[in-house]
């Protein structure tokens, strides 16, 4: 019996599998090359007073992806987020080492215009915080700040477009003069997203945006983020691991001020490199 003739399949299979694996590796390598880094964090260290709350944090946020920050309460997720739009600058005792680049530019360069940076890097907070004014004015306010000479018609167009993008237009188009405070929590949060979109940012950061919302509003926001990621780079802080799993491309796991693990969301959840990550993902930490 000629074994080799009778059973050629195993080797062929192996070869095919090898080829397929090679192909996958190639694609990943290509993706890594293409990986279009937008925010580059290099050796970030943050203190509040003498309290070191972030140390040794190095990673990169790719453009047009959703990057999720996860980790137990107090590990520094919000602090990291606030470094990207320099909202920490307002906090007494804040000091920072390391470098953060946005599109190749050091955002802590003294020549950087902080208001312009914050236009580019929008932020949505845990609790919806629309201003106590009309829906229209909520969006128009910041648009005028960055474009004082905008005409009325143009402004109305920007407001409408932002509301459409935030999936809120249909619900509010009949009465844009209504107080934003009369909207539901989920609508308010989408208004806050619209407000951020209206000034044409490149990055949208959301700090636990669904923490005070019901499951339906949460699902709507998740859908919205998946739509927006085509045009924007999104960073989201979340305590909801299922949410991170559902929508994020990359995941950063923080623990006690350190970035313990960073990478492809699927890989981090299914095959974490660190025991701590595995424990957290299994639900061992608060």
Partner 1 sequence: MRVSPIKGHARLSRWIGPASAWIAAAVVAAVCFFIVGHIVREGYAHVDWKFLTTDPDPSPAESTGGGVRIPIVGTTFLVLLSTLLTFPIALGAAVYLAEYMDERWAVTKAIRLGLEVLAGVPSVVFGMFGVAMFSHGVFTFMSSSGAEGSDVAFGRSFLVAATVMAIHVLPFVIKVMEEAIRSVPLSYRQGAAALGVTKWRAIRRIVLPAAAPGIATGVILGMGLAAGDTAIVWLTLGGTMNMAVDNWWALDQIVNVLRGTGSTLTTFIYFSSPAGEGNAPELAYGGAMVLILLVITLNAAATLIGRARRQTR
Size of the site for Mg ion (CB under 5 A): 1
Nearest Cα to 54, choosing from 73, 71, 39, 76? 76
Min CB(199)–ligand ATP separation in Å: 24
- SS3 of residue 69 by DSSP: strand
Told to check if 138 binds Mg ion by CB under 5 A, we report no
Asked if residue 269 lies in contact with residue 245, where contact means CB atoms within 8 angstroms, the answer is yes
Among 67, 79, 188, 277, binds ligand ATP (CB under 6 A): 79
Q: Which of 145, 79, 83, 80 is nearest to 115 (CA)?
A: 145
User: 31 to 60, contacts with ligand ATP by CB under 6 A?
Assistant: 48, 53
Whichever of 88 and 277 has its CB closer to partner 1, that residue is 88
Phi-psi region of 176 (alpha: psi -120 to 50; beta: other; left: phi over 0): alpha
Structural contact between residues 201 and 228, judged by C-beta atoms closer than 8 angstroms = no
Residue 126 DSSP class: S
Partner in contact with 245, chosen from partner 1, ligand ATP, Mg ion, none, beta carbon below 5 to 8 Å by kind = none
The least CB distance from residue 10 to partner 1, in Å, is 60
Rounded CA separation 140/145 (Å)? 9
Provide, rounded to whole angstroms, the least separation between the CB of residue 144 and partner 1: 9
Instruction: Name the DSSP class of 90.
Output: G
Kindly tell me which of 112 and 256 has the beta carbon lying closer to partner 1.
Answer: 112
- Choosing from 73, 109, 174, 283, the residue that interacts with ligand ATP (CB under 6 A) is 73
Quote the tokens at residue 272. 């974490």
Q: Name which of 53 and 158 has its Cβ closer to ligand ATP.
A: 53
Q: Is 217 in the site for Mg ion (CB under 5 A)?
A: no
88 touches Mg ion (CB under 5 A): no
Token look-up 């949460």 returns: 218
Q: Is 252 in the site for ligand ATP (CB under 6 A)?
A: no
Please identify which residue in 67, 78, 88, 233 interacts with Mg ion, judged by CB under 5 A: 78
**Interface with ligand ATP, residue 192, by CB under 6 A:** no
CB count within 10 Å of CB 98 equals 17
For the chain, the C-alpha Rg in angstroms (whole number) is: 22
Tell me the number of residues near ligand ATP by CB under 6 A. 11
Q: Which does 165 bind (CB under 5 to 8 A by kind): Mg ion, partner 1, ligand ATP, none?
A: none
Measuring CA to CA, how many Å separate 83 from each of 41, 50, 102, 207, 224? Answer: 10, 17, 11, 13, 25
Q: Which residues, 161 to 190, sit near ligand ATP by CB under 6 A?
A: none
Nearest C-alpha neighbor of 191 from the set 247, 134, 151: 134
Between 143 and 224, name the residue whose CB sits nearer to partner 1: 143
Q: Which residues contribute to the site for partner 1 (CB under 8 A)?
A: 85, 87, 90, 114-119, 122-123, 125, 127, 129-133, 141-142, 145-146, 179, 181, 192, 195-196, 199
How does DSSP classify residue 85? T
Residue (of 39, 171, 148, 151) closest to 100 by Cα position? 39
Q: How far is the CB of 83 from Mg ion (least distance, A)?
A: 13
Q: Which residues bind ligand ATP (CB under 6 A)?
A: 48, 53, 71, 73-79, 91
């Amino acid at each position: 019996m000629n074994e080799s003739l009778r059973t050629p399949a195993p080797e062929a299979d192996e070869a095919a599998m090898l080829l397929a694996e090679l192909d996958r590796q190639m694609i990943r390598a290509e993706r890594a090359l293409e990986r279009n880094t937008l925010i580059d964090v290099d050796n970030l260290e943050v203190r509040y007073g003498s309290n070191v709350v972030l140390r040794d944090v190095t990673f990169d946020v790719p453009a047009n992806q959703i990057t999720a920050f996860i980790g137990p309460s107090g590990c520094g997720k919000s602090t990291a987020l606030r470094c990207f739009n320099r909202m920490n600058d307002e906090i007494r005792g804040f000091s920072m080492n390391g470098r953060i680049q946005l599109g190749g530019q050091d955002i802590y360069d003294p020549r950087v215009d902080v208001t312009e940076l914050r236009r580019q890097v929008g932020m949505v907070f845990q609790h919806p915080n629309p201003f106590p004014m009309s829906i229209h004015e909520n969006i128009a306010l910041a648009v005028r700040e960055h474009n004082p000479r905008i005409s009325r018609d143009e402004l109305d167009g920007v407001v409408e477009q932002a509301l459409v993008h935030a999936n809120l237009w249909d619900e509010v188009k009949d009465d844009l003069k209504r107080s934003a405070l009369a909207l539901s929590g989920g609508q308010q949060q989408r208004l806050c997203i619209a407000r951020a979109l209206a000034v044409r940012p490149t990055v949208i950061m959301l700090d636990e945006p669904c923490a005070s919302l019901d499951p339906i509003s949460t699902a709507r926001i998740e859908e919205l983020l998946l739509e927006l990621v085509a045009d924007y780079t999104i960073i989201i802080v979340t305590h909801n691991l299922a949410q991170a799993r559902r929508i994020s491309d990359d995941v950063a796991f923080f623990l006690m001020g350190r970035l313990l693990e960073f990478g492809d969301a699927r890989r981090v959840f299914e095959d974490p490199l660190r025991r701590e990550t595995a424990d957290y993902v299994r639900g061992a930490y608060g």
